[in-house]
Amino acid sequence: MASPRVLSGIQPTADSFHLGNYLGAVRQYVTMQEGYDAFYCVVDLHAITVDYQPEALRRRSRVAAAQLFAVGLDPDRSTVFIQSHVREHTELAWVLICLTGMGEAGRMTQFKDKSAKYGESSAGVGLFTYPILQAADILLYQADKVPVGADQKQHLELTRDLAQRFNHRFGETFTLPEPHIVKGVEKITDLQDPTAKMSKSSSSPGGILDLLEDPGPLRKKIMRAVTDTGTEIVFDEENKPGIANLLRILSALTGTPIPELETRYAGQGYGTFKKDVAEAVVETFTPIRERTEKLLADETQLDRMLAAGAARARKVAAETMEKVRDRAGFLTAS
Please enumerate in sequence order all residues whose Cβ is within 8 A of that of 154, keeping only pairs 6 or more positions apart, or say none: 108, 109, 110, 131
CA gap 24, 137 in Å, rounded: 19
200 is in an annotated binding site: yes
Q: Which amino acid is at 253?
A: L
Nearest distance from C-beta of residue 146 to ligand TRP, angstroms: 5
Catalytic residue among 112, 145, 183, 200: 200
Would you say 65 or 243 has its CB closer to ligand TRP? 65
Would you say 152 or 227 has its CB closer to ligand TRP? 152
Would you say 116 or 266 has its CB closer to ligand TRP? 116
CA gap 231, 17 in Å, rounded: 32
Nearest distance from C-beta of residue 135 to ligand TRP, angstroms: 8
Catalytic residue among 145, 187, 197, 240: 197
Nearest distance from C-beta of residue 333 to ligand TRP, angstroms: 28
Nearest distance from C-beta of residue 25 to ligand TRP, angstroms: 7
CA gap 222, 151 in Å, rounded: 25
Would you say 134 or 203 has its CB closer to ligand TRP? 134
126 is in an annotated binding site: no
183 is catalytic: no
221 is catalytic: no
275 is in an annotated binding site: no
Would you say 155 or 219 has its CB closer to ligand TRP? 155
Nearest distance from C-beta of residue 130 to ligand TRP, angstroms: 7
199 is in an annotated binding site: yes
11 is in an annotated binding site: yes
The residues of the shown chain that bind ligand TRP, judged by CB under 6 A, are 7-9, 11, 43, 46, 134, 137-138, 146, 148-149, 152, 155
197 is catalytic: yes
197 is in an annotated binding site: yes
Residue nearest to ligand TRP (CB): 9
Which parts are annotated binding residues for ATP? Answer: 11-13, 20-21, 149-151, 188, 197-201
Catalytic residue numbers, as ranges: 114, 197, 200
Which parts are annotated binding residues for L-tryptophan? Answer: 137
